[in-house]
Structure 1
């Protein structure tokens, strides 16, 4: 075996993809956290997907200093952006990474060391700590995803929510697994739930390390805070697996959960969701949501 082949075996190339869209206050910290990894065999692809803030000028300053691959484009959405980057990527391991999140320095090294020699693992993930918009850690009691133990997930575990799922900010994909399932679906704008389910459905395991390897930033424009967006895209995702015997159960469980959240934050959406929940599928969450809906706002 040649020296180059030995290097590729022991230190596979990891392609990190940062798709940036209007995250100017956070983009520099995200990029620097990749550049400062203890693992050196990294290809960094940064794509700005039509930002209208000053993200591009911030990225260009960093590119001039560090020389990573940077591409600007008109807005086409995250799934299409990731698919285009995967086509250009040279790495056998692919890490899409949020332009508002931060990797801990040992993240890539730890995940590469784990996933090597485990072809059955299509995705390696880990735990996260939560930070606020200014980068400050949330109090210990609010860190729900810090101390979760190692878990191996299959499709049933994910689809039926039997175990805690992988954190999006820590996903490392085996490239062959992404290619096998056709990469991301452009019709689904909430990309992480869909792709993890598809890869698990294809027969791969998702192994989640029981250690914190990334900082997930909570701020006003987090996707999960847009309830209508979440409902639309999660339901689209579940529809892709509608032949599963538990599809209706999974769908109504999600509707009940979102109804409870919306009853407090978006009452028109809550009423629309309630109409879609059969009475026989009502749970305590439904009742709690109804009580919130009936409580006048002062």
Structure 2
């Protein structure tokens, strides 16, 4: 259902806002309020309950909005499945994706719609965002941590020269033609942007801070091992999108090797925490094949000479880190 004050004379700029909901009852009210506080009023809101275990509480939170939103339910299919369901139900010519724990600033829609109007050669636009939530110091911004420089083409996305912020606004026809891979339970957005760019669609961005990006322990992005595993899968799948001798293929191979090394670091730390010395050494040795890091080399020497001390120091450091996050959460 469109906003009450939506104009009826510009259907080309009607926006379908898609909000997947899974264990989001604690946050979604603030998210929805940020949409209904937009200065741009020509939109509909589609909330997709993705088989959420908190459905009873979620629907109580959504009750005041049910006459103003499209509310859909389905068995759990992950973010990809929820977004695809929203895409199929969307009436707008433009699509905006919004996670159920993030927040838009009041001019998000106005600025993003204007960008696509003024840049007809672009099919999707993302923006900058401020981080907030557990352990986040105010004033930290997405594009400081994840820069965007130059053309946001496939090569830039693979090499992380451009990192697409997930709260995008896109032309419906383009995004629907690509869709989200429902076999992926993480990094489904990266997979979509790579296929989007490989298909010839063009991605734009603006550096304006138009959203707030919540970080918390329950967010998918908080699980580094899971994220890296799916990232490697996405990059491996992406090899089929480009010629074997292309620059993109070379960059993908480099990215896969780097992600594997990062994953070995994560697994090595996990093994240290569990006092699995030999497993930790194996992971750090694998990582060092890529990084050739002096820090990793010295860590491996220390594990050979004084493994008990290394484990103790690592556990102490982890405890201090956890306490710091709790004090600043």
Report how far residue 36 of structure 1 moved: 1.2
Contact 2:126 2:169 in 1 (8 A): yes
Contact 2:155 2:251 in 1 (8 A): no
After superposition, residues 70-85 of structure 1 pair within 5 angstroms as 70-85=71-86
Q: Separation in 2 of the partners of 1:122 and 1:26?
A: 30
Residue 296 of structure 1 is matched in structure 2 by 311
Q: Separation in 1 of the partners of 2:149 and 2:251?
A: 26
SS for the counterpart of 1:287 is helix
| CA distance 1:265–1:16, change in 2 (3 Å) | farther
Report how far residue 261 of structure 1 moved: 4.1
Contact 2:31 2:101 in 1 (8 A): yes
Report how far residue 240 of structure 1 moved: 1.4
Residue 293 of structure 2 is matched in structure 1 by 284
- Residue 252 in structure 1 maps to residue 257 in structure 2: yes
Residue 56 of structure 1 is matched in structure 2 by 58
SS for the counterpart of 2:311 is coil
After superposition, residues 195-234 of structure 1 pair within 5 angstroms as 195-234=192-231
After superposition, residues 31-110 of structure 1 pair within 5 angstroms as 31-53=32-54, 54-64=56-66, 66-110=67-111
1:194-234 Cα deviation digits (max 9, x unpaired): 11111111122221211111101111101122123212211
Report how far residue 150 of structure 1 moved: 7.0
Per the normalisation by structure 1, the TM-score is 0.83
- Residue 159 in structure 1 maps to residue 158 in structure 2: yes
Report how far residue 28 of structure 1 moved: 0.6
Q: Separation in 2 of the partners of 1:289 and 1:59?
A: 53
Say which structure is richer in helix: 2
- Residue 189 in structure 1 maps to residue 185 in structure 2: yes
Per the normalisation by structure 2, the TM-score is 0.76
| CA distance 1:276–1:263, change in 2 (3 Å) | closer
Q: Separation in 2 of the partners of 1:139 and 1:292?
A: 39
The unaligned stretches of length 5 or more in structure 1 are none
Q: Separation in 2 of the partners of 1:70 and 1:212?
A: 29
SS for the counterpart of 2:125 is strand
SS for the counterpart of 1:72 is strand
Q: Separation in 1 of the partners of 2:86 and 2:212?
A: 23
| CA distance 1:60–1:224, change in 2 (3 Å) | closer
Report how far residue 24 of structure 1 moved: 1.4
Q: Separation in 1 of the partners of 2:294 and 2:117?
A: 43
Q: Separation in 2 of the partners of 1:146 and 1:188?
A: 27
SS for the counterpart of 2:123 is strand
Aligned-residue RMSD, C-alpha: 3.2
Q: Separation in 1 of the partners of 2:287 and 2:216?
A: 34
After superposition, residues 119-158 of structure 1 pair within 5 angstroms as 119-133=120-134, 138-140=137-139, 142-143=140-141, 145=143, 151-158=150-157
Q: From the CA coordinates, give the structure whose radius of gyration is larger.
A: 2
| CA distance 1:252–1:28, change in 2 (3 Å) | same
Report how far residue 93 of structure 1 moved: 1.3
Runs of 4+ in structure 1 off by over 6 angstroms are: none
Q: Which moved more, 1:117-126 or 1:216-225?
A: 117-126
Q: Separation in 1 of the partners of 2:52 and 2:96?
A: 21
